[in-house]
Amino acid sequence: MSKDKIMYYLPWALAVFIAVVFVQSLFFKFSNSFETQHIFGTIGDWMAGIGFLEFAAAGFAAYGGYTVGTVELIAAILLLMRKTQVIGAAVAFAVISGAIFFHLFTPLGVSVIINEAGERDGGQLFAMAVLVWLFSLVIAWLRREDIPGLLGKESRRAEAPA
């Protein structure tokens, strides 16, 4: 396969991966599953303990899953349309940066409790977040020439290789 073909199809493959990760998580977030309650409740408790974030803690614990899920759904849709792929990558990067922060710097941790029995995921959720973070950066880099077009300037968009 030629380099041109790889560079054309690579962002699409990465975008589909991110979209699948985001969309498959929507069931958990929108149904307020145990895992979602644990994740956002743990972060809400941490926010309440910080002091200056206490005002947002209860709302984040109660509605954070719905809010994050909605942003992830928007990012997935944007990633699957060529004209908005770079915006989708930026939104995905932003939302997943927050997820990585919460895994690393709060009591949530890298290995998350996934059920009422206290079983952990062994870091799978965190690993997926890191992949989404890296892939969104790659898409943004590969689609960087689209940014002027989004700002109303001419851009040089790559066409499908023959």
From residue 19, how far is each of 50, 56, 91, 92 by CA, in Å?
Answer: 33, 28, 12, 9
- Contact in structure between 8 and 160 (CB atoms under 8 Å): yes
C-alpha–C-alpha distance, residues 153 and 123, integer Å? 43
C-alpha–C-alpha distance, residues 77 and 88, integer Å? 7
Q: Say if 159 falls within a structural domain.
A: no
59-82 tens-digit pLDDT: 999 999 999 999 999 999 999 999
How much is the pTM? 0.88
* pLDDT-based confidence at residue 160 (cuts at 50, 70, 90): low
Q: Say if 76 falls within a structural domain.
A: yes
Q: Residue 78: beta bridge partners? A: none
Q: Say if 155 falls within a structural domain.
A: no
Average pLDDT in the chain: 92
* pLDDT-based confidence at residue 8 (cuts at 50, 70, 90): confident
32-57 tens-digit pLDDT: 999 999 999 999 999 999 988 899 99
Phi/psi of residue 120, each to 5°? -110, 160
C-alpha–C-alpha distance, residues 26 and 12, integer Å? 21
Which SS3 state, helix, strand or coil, does residue 113 take? Answer: strand
Percent of the chain with pLDDT over 90: 80
Q: Say if 6 falls within a structural domain.
A: no
Q: Say if 162 falls within a structural domain.
A: no
Q: Say if 74 falls within a structural domain.
A: yes
C-alpha–C-alpha distance, residues 38 and 142, integer Å? 36
Number of domains in the chain: 1
Q: What is the pLDDT of residue 146?
A: 85
Q: Say if 13 falls within a structural domain.
A: no
* Domain boundaries, position 55: 25-146
Q: Higher confidence at residue 153 or residue 108?
A: 108
Q: Say if 152 falls within a structural domain.
A: no
What is the widest separation between alpha-carbon atoms in the chain? 58
110-122 average pLDDT score: 93
Q: Higher confidence at residue 19 or residue 6?
A: 19
